[in-house]
Chains A and B, each alone.
Chain A
Amino acid sequence: MHDSQPLRLSILGIVAVALFTALFSRLWFLQVMSAPEYEAEAQSNRTRSIVVEGPRGRILDRNGQVLAHNRESVVVTVDRATLDAADDRDEVLARLVDELTAAEVDTSVDAIEEAIKNWNGDPFRPIVVADDVNPELYFTLSERASILPGVGVEKTLVRHYPNADLAAHVLGYVGEINDRELAAEADAEKAYQLGDRIGKMGVEQQYEHHLRGTPGQITFEVDSMNRIVSIRSRVEPKPGNDLWLTIDADLQRITEDSMEEEMLRARSEGDFSNDFPITAPAGAAVVVSPRTGEVHAMASYPTFDPNELVDGVTSLRYSQLGVEEVCRRDFYCPLENKAIRGNYPPGSTFKIFTGYAAATSGLRSPGATIQDPGSYTLDPCTGGRCTFYNSNNSAHGSVDLPLALTVSSNVYFFGVGEEFALRDEIYGDRPIQEVAERFGIGSRTGIPLPNEAPGVLIDPALKAQRHEDNPDVFLEGRWNVGDTVNLAIGQGDISVTPAQLANAYATMGNGGTLRHLNIALKVTDPTSGEVIQSFGPRDVRDLELDQGVRQVITDGLVGVTTRTGQHRGTGAVVFDGFPHAQYPVAGKTGTAQVTGKASSSVFAAWAPAQNPEYAVSVMIEQGGYGSGVAAPITRRILEPLANRSIHGTPLGEADLDIDIEAGGAFD
């Protein structure tokens, strides 16, 4: 022992006291002073949440028939954390593959590993390894849960269109949201995240915010391995609203079936038009209400089954369906809604606007007759074409406005066109266009569907502009007299969409009120059925038509479907046997020439002729004469409507076996 030992021992004691002081201070700082802030960190450290999509609202037709709803689908999932923690991971996967194979699911261990590896969705959502499997698996896999750790079976909702391709273009489809859509919806009230479904087309896209369910959220506590320990809170998702369309599913079915039937028939007959074979590969038909602007049927051909897109298609199949560069040449782009996207020259259906312009401008009174020898030569001819012909060069003799419409005399309207062009100091440089424009030609109908095309209403200014912008395609910028002459019969650079043409005819038919087209009727609450929003008629303008002239035109158009004898109406053969007395049809054939192809077959009509219920337009590419395909389709659509009006036969029970002789006229 040495003298300084007590001192030295107390040094140790002092060191100990100092160290303890340090520990106590730090403990006080962490647990008393910083506890709240660390506690918050601990919470966010340990809680995760997943968002659960709400069921999407249904889509119904105007009478409540279901057009789109959600189907229960059984999916097999794998929870990565649990699977990886299993001692016999590989055996678990092998057993799972056995179960799936027994249920006729085509899969393999490699395929499942691949799915797990490629998962880029929410890490807390189990990974889907088999989709839409036999519902039996729900029970068999649940029973074997103990030997299949991490494997889950869930029932999920999948969008389903029970009528397959019926009204496919109107409905559209849903698909996984992409980056661009996600960015666009960044501020959406019902927030989106990757993996969510969103409307991609048609009303599914247009009314997305009504249809989409309100997402719910589950917040849970996870352990350090990201495994779920307990559920903290749960906000249940809410279903989206039901959307009622103005579409009448029965009429839609009739429209689509009529189109397909007549197009197949025209194709099989092997006729030619302007030396090109009639193939009738594509077209559209639109039925609207002249009273409200509601669309009752809208069909586009070729069509598609939206269920196919919901389930997922290969990129090749997708490009054939709807990628412009690929589908345009051989597939006629099934995804394109030709009723609002197709640009077709209206042909002779345009003559009612030329005739109205001539009659109301004082150029040529409706009763004045001209001689129609079958051709018309411009005098003087200052450029462009000089001689124009009737279809098939047929001579109609002495014709006034109604008769010119009934027999579709080109010569009558060529004369109108030339006179308008030559006397532009009186009538201006776009006398016909001004009238057509008021009927909505050249502007969108305002139908609430994505990507509607406006059509082209050609006039001197537009022709010059197009040439200036793109001289290689539009070789000439100067407006010739021949351009007005061509426009007078709906040929040349003018083009309309089928919806636009139907709406213009509806406007003439209803006495002169142009309306935006509507596709949605109302939005209702899915549980209470209460109407949340309803969509009434949207008037654009009252044209204040000259009702005398309108009546003359109506008479001419009724003649188209009814007049027989020497001046037979161009649609009379097709409409032979139609109940004209009770349900007269005011219609017009059109045969629009297309360079290098068979003509487009066009028919537009309203019925009954007075105070019409419906206006229809049908436009079939490479279909030949209007009386050849488009008119028969129109009759097949209108006759069940007439029978319902006369006999009260519901559309669903309509006799569709109508004997029609197509053609019979050169227009």
Chain B
Amino acid sequence: MATTGPTLARPRLGDRSTGVAARVSATPWRHLDVSLVAVLGLLSVVSVVMVLAATHGPRTTTNDTFFMQRQAVFVVLGFVVMFVAAAIDYRHWREWWVAIYGLGMLSLVFVMLFGISAKGTQRGFALAGFQMQPSEFMKIAAIIGLAGFLVGRELDLVRTVAGIGVIGAPVVLILMQPDLGTALVFGAITLGMLLVAGVPARTMLGLLLAAGLAAGVVVTSDVLDEYQKARLTNFVNPDALDRDQRYNTEQSQIAIASGGITGQGLLKGGQTSNGYVPEQQTDFIFTAIGEELGFVGSAGVLLLYGVLLWRILRAAQLSRDAFGTLLCVGVFCLILFQLFENIGMSLGIMPVTGIPLPFMSYGGSSIIVVFVLAGLVLNVHMRRFS
């Protein structure tokens, strides 16, 4: 495996004379995807502001800026870990994938045994005052693990099924929490990575068919609880939802629609500031954007995500090796799926699941994780020549 070396970097005139400057200029950092970092910066600003919008209100009991301040801390931390993740050459990670994957699995088992119970599910444990969600960190481990497993092998049916097994193990644990939404994210990642890894078209079609069949069986059988089924099918059958769930989707659509073209103005959304939309700073944060910033703001945010995805796909294309490509594809699929599911849920065209909007929803674990993933993409992108 190649390591980062000054000889491989394109030297700049006059840089060699001064030691430190020469070394920095010779590092892959000079190939950093600045546009991606800029997009993330913009999204982070929107995130912090919208977390404030979603949590502030005339009758809020806690300090109005409590969530905003914490989100700002998370975002700053996110940028730090992103650069850290970008700094360590991703090719090392290919060798460590078993260890990383094992660590992720261990933490999932740990949360099963000792986790905090919240709203009937066991998803996290507390660490230094912050609630950790291992299923979020497992996303990193799964992407690295699957990329490591798939790369450089002939993908016959057995290997393909084995690859699915790599993801299947954590998915079972996550389903036991139970956290259906996160489990679905893993499914999306798997499909995308298998596709790009070169699974034959016929196998791919078979997989899609099998996934469709499985979904049908799951929805009609007793594997899922009634509330999970109802949430999954609400966008085609809203009457099956109980009153609270229907209330959520109705209120979120009312909020977004009442934003109109230009929005009601920051911190002036009637639905938002009066707490009509539940879980607004986390799962339903897009409703705050919709109501207060209107179509212009929402479409702008969607465009930022479009640029972000384009930069990730570009990094996947430019990668020097298949491992890097697969890492980027994993990240791409994760962000695309979470984004579509989350915003689609707020718009009433996707089932209600508790999936955060990447780089936007309030929450330490999810923010840190997506920034680490963004760091991986930057990592692959800036080492495309080395």
Contact = CB atoms under 8 A, between A and B. Distances in A.
Given A15-B336, A30-B253, A30-B257, A8 B274 contact: no
Given A22-B344, A31-B298, A2 B276 contact: no
A548 B95 CA distance: 136
Contacts of B192: 12
Given A6-B317, A223-B276, A34 B270 contact: no
Interface stretch (A36-44, A128-136, A368-376, A642-650): A36-44
Contact of B274 (A11, A24, A221): A221
B329 A45 contact: no
A46 B336 contact: no
A42 B329 contact: no
B145 interface: no
B349 interface: yes
Interface string B304-334: 0010010001001100011001000100110
A334 B64 CA distance: 62
A19 interface: yes
Given A16-B336, A39-B257, A8 B196 contact: yes
Interface string B107-149: 0000000000000000000000000000000000000000000
Interface in A84-101: 85
B276 A46 contact: yes
A23 B196 contact: no
A46 B59 contact: no
Interface residues of B, number: 48
A32 B295 contact: yes
Contacts of B302: 20, 23-24, 27
Contact of B344 (A8, A9, A12, A23): A23
B343 A222 contact: no
A13 B313 contact: yes
Given A4-B198, A8-B195, A230-B58, A224 B317 contact: no
B299 A24 contact: yes
A80 to B, nearest CB: 15
A37 B258 CA distance: 8
A229 interface: yes
Given A5-B325, A23-B343, A230-B58, A31 B256 contact: yes
B254 A41 contact: yes
A542 to B, nearest CB: 71
Nearest to B262: A31
Interface string B174-196: 00000000000000000010011
Contacts of A223: 57-59, 274-276
A229 B274 contact: yes
B258 A2 contact: no
Contacts of B58: 223, 229-230
A505 B261 CA distance: 82
Contacts of A234: none
B195 A35 contact: no
A286 B317 CA distance: 107
B385 interface: no
B333 A12 contact: yes
B310 to A, nearest CB: 8
A223 B57 CA distance: 9
Interface in A222-242: 222-225, 227, 229-230
Interface string A616-637: 0000000000000000000000
Nearest to B195: A8
A388 B47 CA distance: 108
A38 B258 contact: yes
B332 A46 contact: no
Contacts of A20: 302, 306
Contacts of A8: 195-196, 198
Contacts of A230: 58
Contacts of A85: 61
Classify the secondary structure of A's interface with B: helix
A227 B59 contact: yes
A102 interface: no
Contacts of B295: 27-28, 31-32
B238 interface: no
B78 interface: no
Contacts of B170: none
Contacts of A22: 340, 344, 349
B41 interface: no
B358 interface: no
Contact of A12 (B196, B306, B343): B196
Nearest to A37: B257
Contacts of B363: none
Interface in A556-599: none
A316 interface: no
A437 to B, nearest CB: 69
A1 interface: yes
Interface residues of A, number: 42
B347 A12 contact: no
B375 interface: no
A31 B254 contact: no
Nearest to B271: A42
Interface in B233-275: 251, 253-261, 270-271, 274-275
Contact of B340 (A5, A23, A37): A23
A190 interface: no
A26 interface: yes
- Best-buried of A1, A12, A13, A24 by chain B (most CB within 10 Å): A12
A45 B276 contact: yes
A19 B302 CA distance: 11
Nearest to B329: A12
A418 to B, nearest CB: 85
Given A8-B198, A24-B302, A30 B271 contact: no
Contacts of B61: 85
Contact of A2 (B198, B257, B348): B198
Nearest to A18: B340
Contacts of A229: 58-59, 274
A32 B261 CA distance: 6
B290 interface: yes
A30 B253 CA distance: 8
B260 A39 contact: yes
Contacts of B356: none
B313 A9 contact: yes
Contacts of B258: 35, 38-39, 41-42
A224 B58 CA distance: 12
A106 to B, nearest CB: 34
B104 interface: no
- Best-buried of A5, A28, A37 by chain B (most CB within 10 Å): A5
B270 A30 contact: no
Interface in A43-80: 43, 45-46
Contacts of B344: 22-23, 26
B321 to A, nearest CB: 8
Given A9-B329, A224-B275, A34 B317 contact: no
Q: Which 9 residue pairs are nearest across A and B when measured between Cβ atoms?
A: A38-B257, A223-B274, A31-B295, A2-B198, A35-B260, A42-B258, A30-B257, A224-B275, A26-B347
Interface of A: 1-2, 4-6, 8-9, 11-13, 15-16, 19-20, 22-24, 26-28, 30-32, 34-35, 37-39, 41-43, 45-46, 85, 221-225, 227, 229-230
Given A11-B195, A19-B336, 12 more contacts: A9-B196, A12-B195, A12-B333, A27-B299, A30-B256, A31-B259, A35-B257, A42-B255, A43-B270, A45-B254, A221-B274, A229-B58
22 contacts: A5-B322, A9-B325, A12-B192, A12-B332, A12-B336, A22-B340, A24-B299, A27-B298, A27-B302, A30-B253, A30-B290, A31-B257, A31-B260, A35-B258, A38-B254, A38-B257, A38-B258, A45-B271, A45-B276, A221-B270, A223-B57, A227-B59
Interface of B: 57-59, 61, 192, 195-196, 198, 251, 253-261, 270-271, 274-276, 278, 290, 294-295, 298-299, 302, 306, 309, 313, 316-317, 321-322, 325, 329, 332-333, 336, 340, 343-344, 347-349
